[in-house]
Amino acid sequence: MSLGATTRQQYNPPAVNAFNAPEDVFLAWLMSRPCGVDIVAAASSEIIKLEAYAGQHAGAKRLHDLFCALIEEKQALAAAPASRVPQ
């Protein structure tokens, strides 16, 4: 009998609809990324998809901004000197 402790379970985000908060959509997207994925490339792809809507819908604009902030943060961490990274 297995209790699932030895198998990796994938996170299945709840269905997304127009009434979900952009932060909830962003978090569901982030949590559903597989380990080892290039998160900057994945976020960049989402930004491209959202650009058509970001000027027309406040939720799409907020989601676009969240993806941009993620990329900026990842790039800042990558550029930080090794001595500044917490051990």
Summarised one tens digit per residue, pLDDT across range 43-66 is 999 999 998 887 888 999 999 999
pTM for the structure as a whole = 0.71
The residue that leads in pLDDT, 74 or 8, is: 74
DSSP at 18 = T
DSSP at 82 = G
Range(s) of the domain holding residue 35:
22-79
- Please check whether residue 87 lies inside any domain of the structure: no
Residue 73 CA to residue 36 CA, distance in Å, equals 17
- Please check whether residue 61 lies inside any domain of the structure: yes
- Please check whether residue 12 lies inside any domain of the structure: no
Domain count, the chain: 1
Angle, helices 39-54 vs 58-79, to 10°: value is 150
Q: Which two tokens stand for residue 47?
A: 């930004």
Confidence of residue 17 (pLDDT cuts 50, 70, 90): low
